[in-house]
Structure 1
C-alpha cells in the first residue's frame, strides 16, 4: 500500500466531500466554542451543524453510489470481466464522504463532551453559591 494522499482522497470522494468538510469543520469549530464557554445556544448550533454534516454525508455517499451504478450499467465502460473489480473500487470511493465525516463527528462529540462536563461543573459551583448565599441571607434576617 502506498502513502496516503489527501488530494487523491478528496478527488475519489467527489463533489460531496466539500459540503461534508465544510459542515464538519464548522461543527468542530462550534463545538470548541461551546467547550470554551458552555451555553445552550452554542450547543444547539453545534447540534444543527452536526446534523447538517450527517445529511451531507448521506447525500454524498448516495450520489456516489448512484454514479458507480450508472457507470456499471453501460457495458462499453465496464466489461463483464472487469465489473466486480470496478464495482469494489467504485464502492470504496463512494464511501469516502463517510470516511471523512466519521472522524470529524467523533471529534465534535468529544469536544462537546468536554463542554457538557464544564457546564455541569459551572452549574454545580453556581448552584452551591446561590444556596449558600440564600442561606446566609435568611440567617441574617432571622438574627
Structure 2
C-alpha cells in the first residue's frame, strides 16, 4: 500500500488530505445526519474527484516527459518503461476511488438514518 502511494507521486498527498476531510465529513453525517451537511460533502467529493483526475494526468505527463528525453533506448525497453509509468500513473485513481467509495458508503448510512424532521 505504501509502495503504491509512493508510485503515485507527490500529488497523492493533497488527494489523501482532501479525501480524509471528505470521509470525516461523511462520518459526521452518518453519526448525526443533517441535510445541510450534504452540500459540504458534495463539494469535497467533487474536489477529491478533480484532484484524482489531476494527479493521474500529472503522473502521465511526467512519464511522457521522461520518455521524450530518452535517446539511445531499445524499443522493447521503451515499451516497458511506458507501461510501468502508466501503471504507476493509475495509483491516484485507485486511492481517489477508494476514498470516494468510503465517503459514499457513509453518506448512504447517514441518509438511511435521516428522518424527515432532521432536514
Q: Pick the structure with greater CA Rg.
A: 1
CA separation in 2, counterparts of 1:57 and 1:98? 6
- Which ranges in structure 2 are unaligned for 5 or more consecutive residues? none
Contact 1:54 1:101 (8 Å CA) reproduced: yes
Partner of 2:86: 91
- Which ranges in structure 1 are unaligned for 5 or more consecutive residues? 1-5, 127-143
TM-score (norm 2): 0.91
Match of 1:53 among 48, 53, 65: 48
- Count how many residue pairs are aligned between Structure 1 and Structure 2: 118
Q: CA RMSD in A?
A: 1.7
Contact 1:71 1:77 (8 Å CA) reproduced: no
Match of 1:9 among 4, 14, 29: 4
- Report the more deviating stretch, 69-78 or 106-115: 69-78
Write the deviation string for residues 62-81 of structure 1: whole angstroms up to 9, x where unpaired: 00000001111123375423
- Report the more deviating stretch, 10-19 or 73-82: 73-82
* Higher relative contact order, chain-length normalized (CA < 8 Å, sep 6+): 2
TM-score (norm 1): 0.77
Write the deviation string for residues 57-110 of structure 1: whole angstroms up to 9, x where unpaired: 011000000000111112337542311111110001011111101111001111
Change (3 A) 1:31 1:65: same
Partner of 1:67: 62
Contact 1:13 1:96 (8 Å CA) reproduced: yes
CA separation in 2, counterparts of 1:101 and 1:37? 25
CA separation in 2, counterparts of 1:30 and 1:20? 15
Contact 1:20 1:56 (8 Å CA) reproduced: yes
Partner of 2:103: 108
